[in-house]
Each structure stands twice: as C-alpha cells, then as structure tokens.
Amino acid sequence: MRILTWNINSVRLRMPLLKKLVRECAPDMICLQETKTPDDLFPLRDVEKAGYAYTHIHGMKSYNGVAILSKIPFTTTEIHHRVGREDCRHIAAHVQVAEFKKPVQIHCLYIPAGGDVPDRTVNDKFGHKLDFVDEMAGWFAKEGKSGDPMIALGDFNIAPLEHDVWSHKQLLDVVSHTPVEVEKLTAMQDSLKWHDAIRHFVPDDQKCYTWWSYRNRDWKKSNRGRRLDHIWVTKTLVPHLTGHDILAAARDWEKPSDHVPVMIDLDLKAA
C-alpha cells in the first residue's frame, strides 16, 4: 500500500500535475491539502478517470480544503471541525487491510499556517495554530484508545527538527520553527506515540525539506527549504514501513505547488 500527501495549492489549477503524479507514483491513497475548492466544484470525474473510485472531500471557497482519493474502499469517513471553526482542515477515512482485524485510520490534516508574527497576543492566526495543535493532541490521545492502527499525514506547517529547516538559528523566530510550535507539535506526537515515518528513513542529522517558498528566485540554488509536510504512523504500523519518497522534482514541474508530494510504502494489502 502506497500512501501520499501533497499540499496541492488549488486542485482545479493543478489537475494536470495530479495526473502526472498518478502516472509517476501510482499511489493507492492520495491525501491533499489546500484544495481551495467547494465540494460541488471539485474535479471528481477527472479523479475517477485517473483511477480513484473512492473519494472523501471537504472543501470551501478560496481557502483550505482537504481530500482523500483512494483505490481502496472506505469503511468509514469523518469530517472534524477544529477549535470551533468549520474551515476544512481535518478529515479521516478508515480502510480494512488483510493484516489487521481493526481498520486502519487515515487522518488528513491541514494545520493553520499561523500568520507572520509568532505572538498570539498580537496575531490571532498564531493563537489559532497553537490551539489547533493542542486540540489535536487531546483528540488523538482519546482516539488512540480504539486500538486502531493510525496514520496522520498532511501539511502540519511546523518543521520540528534542527535539520527540517535550512538554518535552525535563523528560523528560531520564524513561524513554523519557533520553540513554542515545536513544543506543541511534540506534545501532539507524544499523545499517541506517533512515529515520524519520514525520519524513520532519513537520519535526523540529514537536511530534509518538503516546501520551498515561491519568493526565491531559484528555489534549488538557494535551497532554503523546510519540512512542513509529515507522515506519522502508530507503533503497530512501523514494522510494515518499506519505503518512502519526497518528490523534490515536482517543485520544478510547470506551475508547481510550493509543497512537493511526500509518500510512504507499507506492506499491507487491502482486505
């Protein structure tokens, strides 16, 4: 089973790139963020033609929006409203695999970016981000009691480790890498003993990025990246991890997203 996450930054604009991604990677499940599309305008017919018969979408006009596209049927789908808003940032789908009695839960997340100023007293967006991560930590702690194997993936908008950013020192006061955000994300990770599936394969002392700003003349030359997109798995899934890829080449596709697709392979078969 191959599962992939991508902040696509407008699904309607980037349908040709989504098709290219399918041709190159053939994931079984694709989790998208920032689809920026109300559900009635989502290009579902194209997605079905590309081989994804099962879809769970939750979008709105202009902002945010998440989607799960799948070749594997869902046993359950969920929409979660977070911190008192209905802003399309968390959906889940459950799939049955042969290896487990319990369903595997897939959680597609788009954590708020948090604005520019890392101080909640002057920037509400930063407060919203911190509260969102706090709420997820509490919610996962409870949901974990189901005993279901779980995968959480998406654009978390936080680069927690020193080598998840191009300069740890220069980004300590930049939203996405501040100590308070890292502390909250770490608490969310501890809530369910989540394992970072990408760092499972990439050593902590090795630079690793999934996002490069549009504002650099030459993203590859300056290489000022951050690892904002994550795939986490619970303990029972760790022995099933067989591979990973970060499609940095997608940053050079025509009209690219500023995020690149991130994927893992698990030796699980649909039931």
Should residue 62 be labelled a site residue for DNA when binding is judged by CB under 7 A? yes
Looking at beta carbons only, is 112 or 261 nearer to DNA?
A: 112
Q: Is 252 annotated as a binding-site member?
A: no
Contact with DNA (CB under 7 A) among 2, 10, 102, 135: 10
155 is known as an active-site residue: yes
Residue with tokens 């930590």: 137
The stretch among 58-66, 130-138, 191-199, 244-252 that binds DNA (CB under 7 A) is 58-66
244 is known as an active-site residue: no
Beta-bridged to residue 7, according to DSSP, are 33
| Non-local CB neighbours of 18 within 8 Å, separated by 6+ positions | 8, 11, 30, 46, 47, 50
The stretch among 45-53, 113-121, 241-249, 263-271 that binds DNA (CB under 7 A) is 113-121
259 is known as an active-site residue: yes
CA 112, CA 181: separation in Å to the nearest integer? 11
Looking at beta carbons only, is 62 or 223 nearer to DNA?
A: 62
Burial of 98 (0-12, 13-18, 19+ CB in 10 A): exposed
Contact with DNA (CB under 7 A) among 27, 103, 112, 149: 112
Should residue 200 be labelled a site residue for DNA when binding is judged by CB under 7 A? no
Looking at beta carbons only, is 46 or 99 nearer to DNA?
A: 46
Looking at beta carbons only, is 67 or 233 nearer to DNA?
A: 67
Which residues ranging from 146 to 185 are in contact with DNA (CB under 7 A)?
A: 157
Give me the least distance between CB of 214 and DNA, in Å please: 4
Looking at beta carbons only, is 125 or 244 nearer to DNA?
A: 125
Q: Could you give the C-alpha distances from 124 to 109, 137, 182, in angstroms and in order?
A: 20, 20, 18
For the chain, how are helix, strand and coil distributed in percent, rounded to 5?
A: 30, 25, 45
Query: Is residue 180 a contact partner of residue 129, using CB atoms and an 8 Å limit?
Result: no
CA 243, CA 17: separation in Å to the nearest integer? 23
CA 58, CA 175: separation in Å to the nearest integer? 26
Q: What's the farthest any 2 CA atoms get from each other in the chain? A: 51
Provide the annotated binding site.
7, 34, 155, 157, 258-259
Q: Which residues bind DNA (CB under 7 A)?
A: 9-10, 12-13, 36, 61-63, 112-115, 125, 157, 213-215, 255
Please identify every residue annotated as catalytic: 110, 155, 259
Provide the annotated binding site for Mg(2+).
7, 34, 155, 157, 258-259
